[in-house]
Amino acid sequence: MRRVTRASEVVAKLRALAEQAGPDTKLPTVRDLCHMLQVSPMTLDVALAEMEERELIYRRHAVGIFVSPKIKQKEIHVVLNPNLFQSPGASPVWGRIWACLMEQAETRSQQNNESYTFHFSNTLEAPGPIREFFMSQLEEQRVHAILGIGLPMSIFEIILDFGVPIIGFAGNGNHHVVTDNREAVEQTVDLLIERGCRSIGYWRQGPYSPDPGFSLVDVPDPARLVRRFRDCDDPIAAYLRTFAPRDTSDRLDAYVDGDPVSDDFLRDVVDILNVALWAPELYNAPVFRDMSVRPANRERTWDLSGHRARLWTHRDLIQAGLQNDVSQEPASQSQSIAVFRKRLQERGLPDGLDMVQAGLVDPLDPERVQFQDQGYEMAMRVFQDGRGPRPDGIIIEDDMIASGVHAALDKLGIAIGRDVQIATHSNAGTPTLYGLRDRIIRMEYDPQDFVRGMLHLMDHERRHDIDHMLTERVKPTLICPT
């Protein structure tokens, strides 16, 4: 933290005075300000010069001191992880998201009196003028919000101490924009079955790491869990409910026994568990004092650092506390895979566990193998070498992997749409699936929706309640070839 000087104290008082007066208002004379603030002319001049440099005031010779129109301006910092843009084989979607953010920033700067500053996260990790400027903005409480794309934990932990809302996408944050393809996966399974597929695979990128978060499939009896949180008859439920946002608490209070629990309502209830999962204080909460932690998860936490280190332990504690109201299984699959397997079972097919494939990577250099390479190798491994069940339909979690799969199948003379059906994640406005769009089912996301979601959370009235996570879910549009 920077040392507080007399001049900086005067700046703070002058800023409060200027904000109260409003833009383009004339402030008192130098003599009157010295008297009001009990400072010398020299100290006042230093403070005024600093405010002028920040464009908070402007001075007119022989006329006076005026409040700048920028006094009410909201300072917003956008932090982007350069690895998303610069790594070999990087998806073009990140460039689209950046372009959409720049466009929205320009529009909102004019309409909402907001100022946007863009940073690459690595420039904030290393000492230098950019980091110094960023830290000074935080220390002076001038930052309205931070928008993070792939925000690293190291930067997140620095910002966290200042209480500034951090809107995160594809990285860390207090509030999150997330992709939600669960409905699309269910519908895609149905479409593939309608097209005659009976051996459906689910292919995703590697390395595959389990997600400690809770999902809808972790709740065996939704109504029972809702009643438990509504009534709070036990200390575990009462404690966990403290992590519920106000609107979720209202829905819990309004729930009537016998009413169906919609997926939307259950998702809000599950979010209570996932917010608690990230709470630093949960491990030491008295209600969990006698709970045991699964040894495998305890070992996993030793290999991690920062806030992430606690997630697996917290999952165990929540499972032990809620017992039969949530699944007691260790987290071993993504929510999308869980939905995929459940839907196959509902349609009378095997649950598909052996049909889940993950791309292979070099353990010594995981980033060396690009997503296209992973897709290519998976397809060759299965369709040429016969290693693994051969599917007649494939759901692919990433469009870059789908591009690699296409290259391999084309080389093997296997026609997409005739010999094998493909459904894949897709990003609107990117060229990744060029030449494939009329032969595949697409779960297509619009990059503008991610940006709109971040800005919506930034404008939310509860954005400063950083202990209760807000979530904006972005769903894809399902597009079928004609």
Of the pLDDT bands very low, low, confident and very high (cuts 50, 70, 90), residue 3 is very low
User: What is the radius of gyration, based on Cα positions, of the chain?
Assistant: 27
- Quick check: 87 pLDDT over 80? no
Q: Are residues 131 and 97 in the same domain?
A: yes
For residue 229, the enclosing domain spans 216-325
| pLDDT given for residue 210 in this prediction | 63
Cα 205 from Cα 372, distance rounded (Å): 9
In a domain, 476, yes or no: no
Of the pLDDT bands very low, low, confident and very high (cuts 50, 70, 90), residue 309 is low
Express each pLDDT in 189-203 by its tens digit: 999 999 999 999 999
Q: Are residues 106 and 121 in the same domain?
A: yes
| pLDDT given for residue 367 in this prediction | 54
Q: What is the total count of domains within the chain?
A: 4
Q: Which of 48-57, 151-160, 189-198, 292-301 has the highest mean pLDDT?
A: 189-198
CATH code of residue 55? 1.10.10.10
| pLDDT given for residue 300 in this prediction | 45
| pLDDT given for residue 216 in this prediction | 80
Q: Are residues 312 and 259 in the same domain?
A: yes
In a domain, 205, yes or no: yes
Q: Are residues 339 and 423 in the same domain?
A: yes
In a domain, 87, yes or no: yes
Express each pLDDT in 371-419 by its tens digit: 899 999 999 999 999 888 899 999 999 999 999 999 999 999 999 999 9
In a domain, 456, yes or no: no
- Quick check: 298 pLDDT over 80? no
Question: Following DSSP, what letter does each residue of 392-426 receive, concatenated?
Answer: SEEEES-HHHHHHHHHHHHHHTPPBTTTBEEEEEE
In a domain, 307, yes or no: yes
- Quick check: 12 pLDDT over 80? no
| pLDDT given for residue 358 in this prediction | 83
Give the residue from 71, 92, 108 where a domain finishes: 71
Give the residue from 173, 201, 232 where a domain finishes: 173
Q: Which of 25-34, 45-54, 106-115, 297-306 has the highest mean pLDDT?
A: 25-34
| pLDDT given for residue 276 in this prediction | 87
- Quick check: 314 pLDDT over 60? yes
| pLDDT given for residue 288 in this prediction | 82
Q: Are residues 167 and 188 in the same domain?
A: no
Cβ atoms of residues 430 and 91 within 8 Å: yes
Q: Which run of H or E residues covers position 477?
A: strand 477-479
Of the two residues 89 and 209, the one the predictor is more confident about is: 89
- In 252-283, which positions are buried (b, 16+ CB within 10 angstroms) versus exposed (e)? beebeeeeebeeebbbbbbbbbbbbbbbeebb
Task: Considering only the C-alpha atoms of the chain, give the largest distance between any 2 of them, rounded to a whole number of Å.
Answer: 87
| pLDDT given for residue 2 in this prediction | 39
User: Using omega within 30 degrees of 0 as the cis cutoff, is the peptide bond preceding 82 cis?
Assistant: no
CA distances to 12, 81, 248, 274, 401 from 38, rounded to whole Å, are: 14, 46, 50, 52, 67
| pLDDT given for residue 330 in this prediction | 65
Q: Are residues 190 and 243 in the same domain?
A: no
In a domain, 468, yes or no: no
In a domain, 469, yes or no: no
| pLDDT given for residue 311 in this prediction | 76
| pLDDT given for residue 362 in this prediction | 53
Q: Are residues 321 and 362 in the same domain?
A: no
Lowest mean pLDDT among 120-124, 329-333, 346-350: 329-333
Give the residue from 14, 42, 71 where a domain finishes: 71
Express each pLDDT in 256-281 by its tens digit: 999 999 988 998 899 899 888 877 77
Lowest mean pLDDT among 227-231, 356-360, 387-391: 356-360
Q: Are residues 406 and 427 in the same domain?
A: yes
Of the two residues 134 and 74, the one the predictor is more confident about is: 134
- Quick check: 466 pLDDT over 90? no
Give the mean model confidence (pLDDT) for residues 359-382. Answer: 75
Percent of the chain with pLDDT over 70: 90
Of the pLDDT bands very low, low, confident and very high (cuts 50, 70, 90), residue 451 is very high
Cα dihedral sign, 267-273-274-275: positive
- Quick check: 294 pLDDT over 70? no
Cα 206 from Cα 54, distance rounded (Å): 47
Q: Are residues 240 and 263 in the same domain?
A: yes
Give the mean model confidence (pLDDT) for residues 12-40. Answer: 88
Q: Are residues 158 and 188 in the same domain?
A: no
In a domain, 367, yes or no: yes
- Quick check: 55 pLDDT over 90? no
Q: Are residues 317 and 360 in the same domain?
A: no
Q: Are residues 200 and 228 in the same domain?
A: no
CATH code of residue 154? 3.40.50.2300
| pLDDT given for residue 361 in this prediction | 61
- Quick check: 43 pLDDT over 80? yes
Cβ atoms of residues 47 and 36 within 8 Å: no
| pLDDT given for residue 254 in this prediction | 95
Of the two residues 101 and 462, the one the predictor is more confident about is: 101
Q: Which of 112-126, 148-162, 401-415 has the highest mean pLDDT?
A: 401-415
- Quick check: 53 pLDDT over 80? yes
